[in-house]
A and B are shown apart, each in its own frame.
Chain A
């Protein structure tokens, strides 16, 4: 018995085709499937039923961490560990600590946002079954694909293939796991 395949892939030639095809795959009740596009197609995430991205949560945590790091670092360094009175001014004040804390807020937010995007997208994984498909190289240039995974509860080799063909998919092929 052959190993369970990763799923089925079908090609589309323009954003309009994949947009309407994605709506039909979504309406057919599939959940573990994806569109592969050379650029972000406007509104395709809605057509696929993808929820709002979770990246902002990472950013918020990063930003708060950055601001607190800045304020507490400056308090520790100038207000506690190495105190130096200059012109009778207070040893610590959030006013003079603000510019540096502000910059650290931005720095930490940037790192958290990018780490969040990498984690959520599973990047840094240099291998993926989709990358084994011979025509997938065109997906980063000018062709659009829909992939339905074999572990989707509604997946059925024959029916899913028929669905992909009826919604206009070309060159429907099975992907090795």
Chain B
């Protein structure tokens, strides 16, 4: 691994002549914190006493999660008729919620995989918790299609398992592709997260062993798999991590592409568009960064992590939100343009109806939240005001839920035959089930920050200035 700082490689003569200015890079860890400080800070969160606020949040989250449990139990006991689907809208809230949650997951993989390949070192402070967010979002997303099949005890028919009907799944269907895309995504995300955590679990094992807590030392030690930080092991580990990042990148792009195929491969006006795959991927990353900001900013404030999640990190996240939000805005405009330019009357009607029909309110909520909200991030003063950034991130989350609602519901309520037009109203069961998923997500995330290292300690240490073996030479 040759690099520019290697003293054995002579600098090109041209550098002497032009005398390039030394551009200081923003610090990734403020106040020049030492390796010991980083270990103590992150491990201290797990080793300390459970804070009172944690118990309060956990209690509230469990209560909210009960709404999903109750909603799902009622659906299974009675049938999907208790949901608000009525012909012609046979895909409604559950599919909206599925796409919403799966989209949120995408930022975690983007941060851990794509930014790793692009050598964006600032990812190290936020990748662990963003990956956790991905996994928990996939858990919430998975609930909906599984129960949406109706008789959930047959959900295993989705997988190519031998059954007594001697029928195999139909692989021409994008819905079947989706089964594989989402289950692969969930599995690979868990693997990536776990592999990234092995060295940090070893740190916790050693600290608990030193503190004499044998039970915890054994538990963390079991999952650390005997990691001891050998350089020969690091060499294989870094290669494995790089390959996982390399395959997770096409994976994350393919997952939302395939989710968009669920719609784009159909013939419904408003769904049957070629812009869907890139537009869905940009939207997914946008919504995911919205959720990353929603989670990171309170976490940073509560645990006093300002030295590790610096203003530079927040700036980077805001700028990505701005970029992807603007891409989404471009896609909205381009959809309208193509609906006009394509001269298909059904397509044209579908888009006029979105903006000015019975669901115009949801369309304009979507435009306001997704296109206008991120434009505030152009301004440094906004990015420096963490409270304001947090509020804006909530708008992004709301807007992206409405985007999926607009795409799915407005297209289905007004398709080809006016005799089969309708208007969708959700039932209380729809609303409770969706509301409760935020509780499930919060329960899982709270358990994560209480029991697992919420930042990749080894990776953060590796990007500090003192980690460069030539810094003291």
Please list the residues of chain A having a beta carbon within 8 angstroms of any beta carbon in chain B: 14-20, 22, 34-48, 50, 52-56, 59, 63, 73-74, 77-78, 81-82, 84, 86, 89, 96-97, 99-100, 102-104, 106-107, 109-111, 113-114, 116-118, 120-128, 130-131, 136-142
Residues of B within 8 A of A138 (CB): 206
A39–B39 touching, CB < 8 Å? no
A56 CA to B176 CA in the complex, in Å?
Answer: 30
Closest 3 CB pairs of A and B: A19-B469, A77-B168, A117-B240
A93 CA to B461 CA in the complex, in Å?
Answer: 50
Query: At the interface, is chain B mostly helix, strand, loop or mixed?
Result: helix
B191–A110 touching, CB < 8 Å? yes
The residue from B206, B458, B469 contacting A137, defined by CB atoms under 8 A apart: B206
* A81 CB → nearest B CB, Å: 6
Contact sample, A vs B, 12 pairs, CB 8 Å cutoff: A22-B231, A37-B229, A38-B199, A39-B462, A96-B171, A100-B177, A103-B184, A104-B180, A110-B187, A123-B198, A123-B225, A130-B230
Residues of B within 8 A of A73 (CB): 160
Residues of A within 8 A of B166 (CB): 82
A142–B36 touching, CB < 8 Å? yes
A41–B467 touching, CB < 8 Å? yes
Residues of B within 8 A of A125 (CB): 226
Residues of B within 8 A of A37 (CB): 229, 231, 234
A45 CA to B2 CA in the complex, in Å?
Answer: 12
* A92 CB → nearest B CB, Å: 9
B27 interface residue (CB < 8 Å to A): no
* B277 CB → nearest A CB, Å: 11
The residue from B169, B205, B207, B230 contacting A77, defined by CB atoms under 8 A apart: B169
A18 CA to B260 CA in the complex, in Å?
Answer: 51
A50–B231 touching, CB < 8 Å? yes
A122 CA to B458 CA in the complex, in Å?
Answer: 20
Q: Beyond A78-B171, A125-B226, is A106–B467 a contact (Cβ under 8 Å)?
A: no
Residues of A within 8 A of B261 (CB): 99
B189-242 at interface with A (beta carbon < 8 Å): 191-192, 195, 198-199, 202-203, 205-207, 209-210, 221-222, 225-240
Most A CB atoms within 10 A — which of B167, B203, B244? B244
Residues of A within 8 A of B231 (CB): 22, 34-37, 40-41, 44-45, 48, 50
A106–B206 touching, CB < 8 Å? no
How many A-B residue pairs have C-beta atoms within 8 angstroms? Tell me.
232
B34 interface residue (CB < 8 Å to A): yes
A55–B236 touching, CB < 8 Å? yes
The residue from A53, A110, A131, A139 contacting B236, defined by CB atoms under 8 A apart: A53
A126–B184 touching, CB < 8 Å? no
B387 interface residue (CB < 8 Å to A): no
B473 interface residue (CB < 8 Å to A): yes
Residues of B within 8 A of A50 (CB): 231-232, 235
A106–B160 touching, CB < 8 Å? no
A113 CA to B226 CA in the complex, in Å?
Answer: 18
Residues of B within 8 A of A89 (CB): 172
Most B CB atoms within 10 A — which of A54, A106, A127? A106
A39–B244 touching, CB < 8 Å? no
A120 CA to B250 CA in the complex, in Å?
Answer: 26
B296 interface residue (CB < 8 Å to A): no
A142–B247 touching, CB < 8 Å? no
B184–A55 touching, CB < 8 Å? no
- Other than the given A53-B236, A103-B251, 7 more pairs (CB < 8 A) read A38-B203, A41-B231, A48-B231, A107-B188, A121-B236, A124-B226, A141-B35
Residues of B within 8 A of A78 (CB): 168, 170-172
B3 interface residue (CB < 8 Å to A): yes
B239–A55 touching, CB < 8 Å? yes
A55–B171 touching, CB < 8 Å? no
Encoded as 1 (CB less than 8 Å from any A CB) or 0, chain B from 1 to 13 comes to 1010010000000
B78 interface residue (CB < 8 Å to A): no
Residues of A within 8 A of B195 (CB): 114, 117
Residues of B within 8 A of A102 (CB): 250, 254
Residues of B within 8 A of A97 (CB): 171
Residues of A within 8 A of B191 (CB): 110-111, 114
B243 interface residue (CB < 8 Å to A): yes
Q: Beyond A82-B167, A123-B225, is A42–B240 a contact (Cβ under 8 Å)?
A: no
A124 CA to B473 CA in the complex, in Å?
Answer: 37
